[in-house]
Amino acid sequence: MPTPRTARPAAEDAPESLAGTRYEVEIGPVAHGGHCVARHEGRVLFVRHGLPGERAVVEVTDGTATSRFLRADVVEVLDASEDRVTPPCPFAGPGRCGGCDWQHAAPAAQRRLKAAVVAEQLRRLAGLDLDVAVEAVAGPPGLPEGLGWRTRVQFAVDPATGAAGLRKHRSHDVEVVDACAIAAPGVEELGVESRDWTGVATVEAVAATGSLDRAVVVTPAATDGRLPIVELERPVSVFRADDRGRTKRVHGRAAVREVAAGRTWRVSGAGFWQVHPAAADTLVAAVLDGLEPKPGDLALDLYCGVGLFAGAIADRLADGDTVIGVESSREAIEDAKHNLRDVPGARFEVGKVDRVLTRPGFLRRADLVVLDPPRAGAGKTVAERIARLTPRRIAYVACDPAALARDLKYFAELGFRTKGVRAFDLFPNTHHVECVAILEPAPRGKKKG
């Protein structure tokens, strides 16, 4: 006899929302995601806008009387941490812009918080007990530390007013802004925040590093909507994006030129490039230090984008040595081929990494592998397929410490040990942190850590 369906509870039987309820709490340790952990009467609260050791009044933003945990914002600080500062942006704070998590913490304190998160994720998910320090990275000269660094900003548009802004935390609501404190000067020069964007869903503003190229990528609010005439404060290339992320040039240059690692890189449309102006050089240096390429090596650059790491490695190899890039974006692969057209041994494959690695006749071995996957990480299947290539060294570039730690555990089970992890503060005032892990084959008989 089939099991009867359980009737949905009537609205009046739904658990009582605790949103708006206030508690006085002691704020505990930092947790992954830009918040700290507190407790009230045995229940866990994930608290934003607080710092470890503070006593504060928090207001619940999400959760019910039966929730396992609650989300909350600090609305009144009773005993402040010595690391607390006044946020430099007037749009930061409870219920406001969700882009920055740590503007209320001094820059050095932010790095300590991020280091604690990275270390905790590595310990809990990968079983690695490592001392982690998040390294400071210099931002634009002449600006306060942690401000004016973001060279790519995606603005949301308030559908009611056509004004540009940024999303509130865990919300589709738009916080309309007249300036973004972490946006690079080249982004702010475009004047996106002062324009009426009626009929547009999002506007990504791009200010290239090392060139004067500027671009905006406009996504209409409706798939059949007309793109408004875009007139900004300075010459700019304009691209139209569809709901699948594909872009089409409207006017101006077909790409922006980024300068890093001794080359000028063509990045078309909304193609991926690191958003901190020093990120490309910083990560290339860390990858090269870890891999130690030498003439004769065969190198593999997975999730290669426009070829940044492939090009940097190729410069350390002999003429004709093979460097292979793999990337799912056909547009990025075309850029990579253009960018490394002077490297005889460079070749590129279009496709999902896990599928390309098992194509008949693709590769049986590789001396060096670098991978820079999306935030979700590479995953077990990709780790297994890399392990079959028996590389001498692997450099794993990651923007999410949880995904990195999970994948390092997979590699450990496949016979690779983590030689070291470096972390870089390439996203100041946010909870994000970029890591570079270096792996090598574990000594025989040791398959963990």
Per the residue annotation, which of 100, 304, 399, 435 is the catalytic one? Answer: 399
Helix (H, G, I), strand (E, B) or coil at 1: coil
Helix ranges (H only) for 40-197 are 107-126, 185-188
Q: Is 399 considered catalytic here?
A: yes
Are 53 and 35 spatial neighbours (Cβ–Cβ below 8 Å)? no
How many whole angstroms separate alpha carbon 358 and alpha carbon 217?
35
| d(C-alpha 178, C-alpha 311), whole Å | 39
Q: Half-sphere exposure of 97 toward its Cβ, with a 13 Å CA cutoff?
A: 26
334 appears as a binding residue in the annotation: no
Q: Across-strand partners of 87?
A: none
List residues bridging with 30 in a β-sheet: 36
Q: Which two tokens stand for residue 361?
A: 């006749």
Q: What's the angle, vertex CA 115, arms to CA 281 and CA 48, rounded to 5? A: 110
Neighbours of 193 (CB within 10 A): 22
Tell whether residue 135 is among the known ligand binding residues.
Answer: no
Give the whole-angstrom CA distance, residue 201 versus residue 324. 37
409 residue type, one letter? K
Of 411, 402, 401, 351, nearest in space to 381 by CA:
411
Longest dimension (CA), the chain: 74
Q: CA nearest 297: which of 392, 420, 417, 416? A: 392
Is 410 labelled as part of a ligand binding site?
Answer: no
Q: Please state the length of the chain.
A: 449
Q: What's the half-sphere exposure (Cβ side, CA atoms, 13 Å) at 29?
A: 8
Q: Is 110 annotated as a binding residue?
A: no
Q: For the chain, how are helix, strand and coil distributed in percent, rounded to 5? A: 20, 30, 50
Q: What six digits make up the tokens of 95?
A: 């219920």
Tell me the Ramachandran region of residue 33: left when phi exceeds 0, alpha when psi lies from -120 to 50, beta otherwise. left
3-class secondary-structure state, position 45: strand
The candidate with the shortest Cα–Cα distance to 393, out of 363, 355, 367, is 367
Sequential DSSP letters for 175-220: EE-S--TTB-HHHHTT-GGGS--TTEEEEEEEE-SSS--EEEEEEE
Catalytic residues: 399
Which residues are part of a known binding site?
Answer: 274, 303, 327, 372
Which residues are part of a known binding site for S-adenosyl-L-methionine?
Answer: 274, 303, 327, 372
